[in-house]
């Protein structure tokens, strides 16, 4: 249901932009959408839709805050120098709040992911200004959360036991995530790309009844590779 509403919001956003541009072209009105910092809307709006769709995830809140700060800078309300000094502390603050109030930040995630009983690994893999590698061998795996912020995370599931649908929540902010999946699973990706994206190289010819790995991802100046 939330996916349908978020798609409707995106559709409404692009319709409004199209109508405004067409009206300007035919001199029906004069509305300038290119105000100072207009480009920050492509950071702010996706993060707001992500919050609506997936709940108050730390990554979405960080991206929304950065977008608002950049807009304030473009409007000459805050200097870019101050913005640069604030970004890293803000990231640390949100990470800290997430660790303290984890249930609160994830309360809006879909029911499939909120009831995951993590086995065969950790409930969360994170890399902050560092790199980490994790391999699950011969154990049942039921999902996880991955955060790569100015760092990289590699998760190898090729020898993990996945016999039911699972959810992986992945966030790459100025970082990268590599996920190796077994050949007997399907992979479906939902992504919020902000100057980043997901490269899904998982096998496509899989049994229709095979379990599915649902990857909910957010990429900001970062990327996720699924292999």
pLDDT of residue 36: 80
Reported as a single tens digit per residue, the pLDDT across 112-134 is: 433 444 456 667 888 877 888 99
Q: Which two tokens stand for residue 24?
A: 């300007």
Reported as a single tens digit per residue, the pLDDT across 134-153 is: 999 999 998 988 888 778 99
The DSSP bridge partners found for residue 190 are 216
Q: State the CB neighbour count (10 A cutoff) for residue 217.
A: 26
Reported as a single tens digit per residue, the pLDDT across 159-189 is: 999 999 999 988 888 889 999 999 889 999 9
Write out the E strands in the chain: 124-128, 131-140, 144-149, 152-161, 166-173, 176-180, 186-194, 197-200, 212-220, 223-226
DSSP assigned state of 29: -
String of DSSP letters for 115-143: T----SS-SEEEEESSEEEEEEEEEE---
Best CA proximity match to 160, nearest among 188, 180, 186, 132: 180
Confidence of residue 155 (pLDDT cuts 50, 70, 90): very high
Distances (CA, A) of 63 to 6, 111, 216: 17, 24, 16
pLDDT of residue 181: 94
In terms of Cβ atoms closer than 10 Å to its own Cβ (0-12, 13-18, 19+), residue 142 is: buried
Q: Which two tokens stand for residue 48?
A: 């707001």
CA–CA dist 141, 164 (Å, integer): 9
């Amino acid at each position: 249901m939330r996916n349908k509403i978020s798609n409707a919001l995106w559709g409404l956003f692009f319709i409004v932009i199209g109508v405004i541009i067409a009206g300007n072209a035919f001199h029906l009105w004069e509305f300038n959408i290119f105000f100072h910092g207009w480009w920050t809307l492509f950071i702010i709006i996706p993060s707001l839709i992500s919050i609506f769709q997936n709940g108050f995830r730390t990554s979405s809140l960080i991206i929304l805050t950065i977008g608002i700060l950049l807009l304030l800078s473009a409007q000459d309300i805050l200097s870019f120098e101050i913005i640069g000094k604030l970004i890293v502390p803000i990231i640390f603050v949100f990470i800290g709040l997430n660790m303290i109030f984890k249930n609160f930040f994830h309360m809006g995630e879909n029911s499939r992911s909120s009831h995951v009983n993590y086995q065969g690994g950790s409930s969360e893999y994170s890399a902050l200004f560092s790199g980490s590698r994790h391999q699950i061998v011969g154990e049942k795996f039921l999902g996880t959360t991955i955060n790569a912020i100015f760092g990289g995370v590699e998760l190898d599931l090729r020898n993990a036991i996945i016999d039911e649908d699972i959810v992986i929540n992945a966030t790459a902010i100025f970082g990268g995530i590599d996920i190796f999946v077994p050949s007997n699973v399907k992979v479906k990706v939902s992504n919020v790309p902000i100057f980043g994206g997901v490269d899904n190289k998982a096998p496509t010819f899989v049994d229709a009844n095979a379990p599915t790995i649902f990857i909910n991802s957010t990429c900001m100046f970062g990327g996720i590779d699924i292999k």
